[in-house]
Chain A
């Protein structure tokens, strides 16, 4: 079964708006990561948040982590057409090396 489950499955917004994607997971984790995938390409790492962190920023990205609810959110502020892509959360279990990816959120930003 999937460890990370993203919500929503798809999101369509206007350029300049903020985009929020959520991820839920089931077991204890060391860290949670967000990746981006442009259509037909490989995944690119965006940001990592460790289990003892609650919030992290990187440019227009803001990630939160709530370990009590086993959930994370990715916020992209002032979105651009170039942000159109699929976004995946990935979790690495405590004590393990195996990283598990969710099914992803497809974001479409209209110019």
Chain B
């Protein structure tokens, strides 16, 4: 069964702290994504990665960075957390080879981050 695992379900961090959100997938997927989800705004793409060490900005990359050193792992980094980054963060992955799965995206359970 496909699985995307986010390391932390709930986090509380202080303003200015550096925050790491970790995500691991076991499906050998090439593509990995980080979204944030806020009420009324739906899912917004922060960053995505097509391959190891590759990253592309999404719609709202400001204040975030990412790291993909291994195929199965995609980390989201908040260099200096701010209160407006309080949100639910969703990691996801998909296969680059769309013939069988289309663009089906598999999500983790989400990480609730509160910045105080």
Contact count band on A: 20 to 34
Smallest CB–CB gap between A36 and chain B, Å? 11
Contact A43 B90 (CB under 8 A): yes
Identify the interface centre among A2, A42, A101, A104: most chain B CB within 10 Å of its CB. Answer: A42
> How far apart sit A33 and B102, CA to CA, in the bound complex (Å)?
9
Known contacts A42-B90, A43-B107; A98/B42 CB under 8 A? no
Interface size class on chain B is: 20 to 34
Cβ contacts under 8 Å, A102 to chain B: 42
**Contact (Cβ within 8 A) A30 B102:** yes
Chain A residue, CB-CB nearest to B39? A103
User: Which one of A11-19, A44-52, A64-72, A75-83 is at the B interface?
Assistant: A44-52
Residue of B92, B96, B104, B106 near A48 (CB, 8 A) is B104
A interface list, Cβ under 8 A from B: 2, 30-31, 33, 35, 40-45, 48, 50, 88, 90, 92, 97-104
